[in-house]
Amino acid sequence: METVSGVSNWKLVIRREEQAVCILRGVTCDERAVLPEELFGLPVTELGGHALSPTAPARADGEEVLVSCGLTGGEAQWDNRRLTDLTLPAALRKGGDYALLNCSNLKTLRLHDGVTFWGGGALMNCRSLDTFFLTRMGEQQESLSYFADELSRELDVTIYETDGQMVHLVFPEYVEAYEENCPAHHFDYNIYGAGYPYHHCFRQKKLSLREYDTLWKGFLGMEHDEESGVRLAWWRLRCPAELTERAARRYWDHLERHAGGVLRWLVSQRDAAGIAFFLGQAAPEEAAVAQACEAAREQRAAECLAVLLEQRHRRFSAAAEKRFDL
């Protein structure tokens, strides 16, 4: 087994091709892991079937490579079961069938938008996966459409565009259920939750932000999670790529109606800059600001508390008590 240095620890089985490398099997003992961008001077462009699955068949014919960053312990667990955060190679173009099957603790996936093919079941049983960081490389490819279609849970997606803009989107959760209809002697297919239109708003597997924003009115008219709605509206306003004034006003109206929840959520995220941004645009009632102050004290979020107290003093009363004790 040949050993090469890397930023993470991997035991790989690879196939060298004329101008690229395919990873046939890969296991890591790290919780946060980065697959190598290249091996032996060749870019890594493909994950084979079951490549990173903890339950993959043991045998794979290929060349064995140990990628080491020198930080493994003697009892390291090499099976991807502890893997929570994975970065894929920028040159990756293909993800094989069941490539990440049963990576049940994987929560965050980071990749470039150059993948043109994802095989069947690539994300099957990735029960924790809900966060994606996607870097555009040119024309929009199919990865985001594939992820949104495969996963019905709420997804948090950050997109880095080629022009330097960042887009942060929330795809709300929905549930598909087959329910027995005894009198009719069949099963009914039902969809619950307001997230289905968001997960399927792609046209020819491409995302339109304008179309994404048109779904907002329908979302509010359906059964939905209030906190999910706050997050969706918030991130469209914080990263307003292609956001029209009309759509922005609708999002702001919603956040102002739920100002207390917005402020408490921002405190929980320790987002003092976000609190300043929100209070610079919205006019919440004093009770909402006071509750957020108490939440900041309880969570020992000193920077958030400072911003909230300053705004409370400025807006409501010069005599408002300034307590900075945590």
Per-residue pLDDT tens for 269-303? 999 999 999 999 999 999 999 999 999 999 999 99
Q: What is the pTM of this model?
A: 0.92
**Residues of the chain below pLDDT 50:** 319-320
Find, among 315, 103, 62, the residue nearest to 292 by Cα: 315
Q: What is the pLDDT of residue 74?
A: 62
Q: What is the pLDDT of residue 188?
A: 82
